[in-house]
Structures are given as C-alpha cells and as structure tokens.
C-alpha cells in the first residue's frame, strides 16, 4: 500500500506541474482517482482482516512453556 501512496503523491506533483504549464492533466487525475479507490479498498480489507485476526487472538489462550509450574487454582 505504501507503494501506491508513493505513486499517488508523485502523480499529484505531476498534476500540479502540468496545470502550471497549462497542459492537460486529465489522464493523471484519472489515474489518481483509480489509486484512491484501490487504496480505499485495500484499507477496508486490511481493517476486516485485522479485526478477524484480533478475534482469533482472543480465542486462543496463552501457551505456557512446559517448565512453568501449574498454580494451585489451575483448572484441569
């Protein structure tokens, strides 16, 4: 995702340069819009996966090394 953001930033600079030069920047603007959409999709997917991962982490108990003795209140 960082690569996409980097590309977007470079293209944004290119848009500014083209507009200052009086050139048409519509193709670059379209590409930035595509990148924005792709980045948004990836961020949404990342949030979903992060949530699923966290849910699973809370279901799994801590693994204790075999050298750790059991406490008096341990349930067997």
The answer to whether residue 45 is domain-embedded is yes
| Local structure of residue 52 (DSSP, 8 states) | H
> Helices (H) and strands (E) in the chain — how many of each?
2, 0
The answer to whether residue 38 is domain-embedded is yes
pLDDT of residue 1: 82
pTM: 0.68
Number of domains the chain contains: 1
The answer to whether residue 49 is domain-embedded is yes
Which domain does 16 fall in, by range?
2-58
The answer to whether residue 76 is domain-embedded is no
Give the whole-angstrom CA distance, residue 6 versus residue 22.
24
CA angle 2, 42, 57 (to 5 degrees): 100
Low-confidence ranges of the chain (pLDDT < 70): 73-76
The answer to whether residue 18 is domain-embedded is yes
pLDDT of residue 24: 94
């Amino acid at each position: 995702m960082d690569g996409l953001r980097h590309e977007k930033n470079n293209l944004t600079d290119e848009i500014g340069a083209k507009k200052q030069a009086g050139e048409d920047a519509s193709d670059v603007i379209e590409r930035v819009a595509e990148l924005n959409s792709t980045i948004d999709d990836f961020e949404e997917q990342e949030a979903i996966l992060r949530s699923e991962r966290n849910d699973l982490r809370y279901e799994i108990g801590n693994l204790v090394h075999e050298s750790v003795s059991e406490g008096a209140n341990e349930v067997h």
